A and B are shown apart, each in its own frame.
Chain A
Amino acid sequence: MLEINLNDIFVLAEDIFLQKIDELEKYWVFNIDTGEHYTLNETSYWILEQIAENSPAKDILENFLNSFEVDENRGEVDFGEIITGFLKEGIINRAERPDKKEGEK
């Protein structure tokens, strides 16, 4: 599993487009360059929306735990897995942290 640093800020990768139809509880993410496309659940989509707003990972996690009323330990694991999945599929990237020191991951 990729290591998630809660100080990280993630950004949507270039050409990524989010779409939802709330009434039908349908959530999608598209890559308009490669044509790749995924169906998402509400939680994963919510996280991508937060990332699109450039929220830091720790804020997103905190909001996630509050918004979805999940157990803290379980929530952190789920959050990490979702972020890892998005990174692996190239849906999000790590943004350069302003406070990052040389050699720090």
Chain B
Amino acid sequence: MNKSILNELNTENEFYFQWHITEKCNQRCKHCYHSNYTSTNELTLSELILIANKIDSTLRKWNKDGTLSITGGEPFMVIDKLFPLLQHINSLETINHFDLLTNGSLLDEATISKLKEFKKLRRIQLSMEGGNQKLNDQIRGNGSFEKTLSTIRLLKENGFQVAVMMTLSHMNKNEIEPLLELLKKERVDTFSAERFIPEGAGADLKDEFLTADEVREVFQKIYCVAMKEDKIRILLYRPLFALLNGNDPTVGALCSAGNNALTIMHDGTIYPCRRLPIPIGNALTDSFYKVWYTSEFLWNVRNLKNIKGKCADCDLIPVCRGCRAMAYALTGDYLAEDPQCWK
């Protein structure tokens, strides 16, 4: 009998929480994974603090470095709760750093100045969908391109690290290079791309879903740029990137579901991942131990022998296993093969 279990379930030293403190949002992006913006049963500040303390004690027990992304909806829509929560998170020893994921539209000089007091705030992540205004605004709403650029400039002037994420679909699959050129000019620090999953508000956009060959083409493009680019860091730790170079640990990553991450929603509901909207507990009423140790869903995805289709026989399964959220959204079976895998 020994106590090394967590390192068997999770070989990483970090544990990641993506925390959606509100569903309220002032934008209506076409591909959004939220289907509702009413934020019913949104938690109070004292409830958020209670959950932050649970995160702290759990990480202490597991001897893990905690990383958090605080997001929404749009987190700055609930600024009265956001700042005290960040102040508390900033004081927790187990939290190594946290990021803010925002559309940037509510950030002004005063807000940005206040963010400077949080020493553990590593990065602020905004979203853009391409290098041209028309396409970006078609997806994210009128005026969002210019507003995002002005927020990026303000953040950089104030010394923040800025990340930009794009969601890959038919609409913007040819926008990688134009967007990266723009981001380099704006001194953006990191870039990442997520595959569009038809769920939430984007559930009806099935035509925007990329085929496996299209994903391969786009990922190859991103990988090639990443290998020669030194002005902006391009993050490649997502499932399927391992198909391009399975020997490089910085290329590709295991799906985090059941591995090293949990998502907390505005009402405390816990999902394995934001893109996998299967409730596995509630952060307010359940301990993270209970969720992590007893969730049938989590145990099903941890057992690689359960993964079906071509993923089951793939030699890359120890480092990839596809995106469980993509499998779920497209087939209704989270153990099915990743429908966008081109191998």
B302 at the interface (CB under 8 A from A): yes
A37 CA to B53 CA, complexed, in Å: 20
A32 CA to B286 CA, complexed, in Å: 10
Q: Which of these, B2, B8, B62, B294, contacts A35 with CB under 8 Å?
A: B62
Q: Give the nearest-CB partner of B62 in chain A.
A: A35
Interface size class of B (residues with CB under 8 A): 10 to 19
Chain A hits for B305, CB < 8 A: 21, 23-24
A32 touches B1 (CB 8 A): no
A105 CA to B61 CA, complexed, in Å: 36
Given A35-B61, A40-B1, A89-B1, residue A30 in contact with residue B293 (CB < 8 A): yes
A35 touches B3 (CB 8 A): no
A37 touches B3 (CB 8 A): yes
Write the B1-37 contact mask toward A (1 if CB under 8 angstroms, else 0).
1111110100000000000000000000000000000
Q: Give the nearest-CB partner of A82 in chain B.
A: B1
B293 touches A19 (CB 8 A): yes
- Residues of B near any A CB (own CB < 8 A): 1-6, 8, 58, 61-62, 287, 289-290, 293-294, 299, 302-303, 305
- Other CB < 8 Å A-B pairs besides A31-B289, A38-B3, 16 of them? A17-B293, A19-B293, A19-B294, A21-B299, A21-B302, A21-B303, A32-B287, A32-B290, A32-B294, A35-B62, A35-B287, A35-B289, A36-B61, A38-B5, A40-B1, A89-B1
What would be 14 A-B contacts, judged by CB atoms less than 8 Å apart?
A: A17-B293, A17-B294, A19-B293, A21-B299, A21-B303, A30-B5, A31-B289, A32-B293, A32-B294, A35-B62, A36-B3, A37-B3, A37-B6, A39-B1
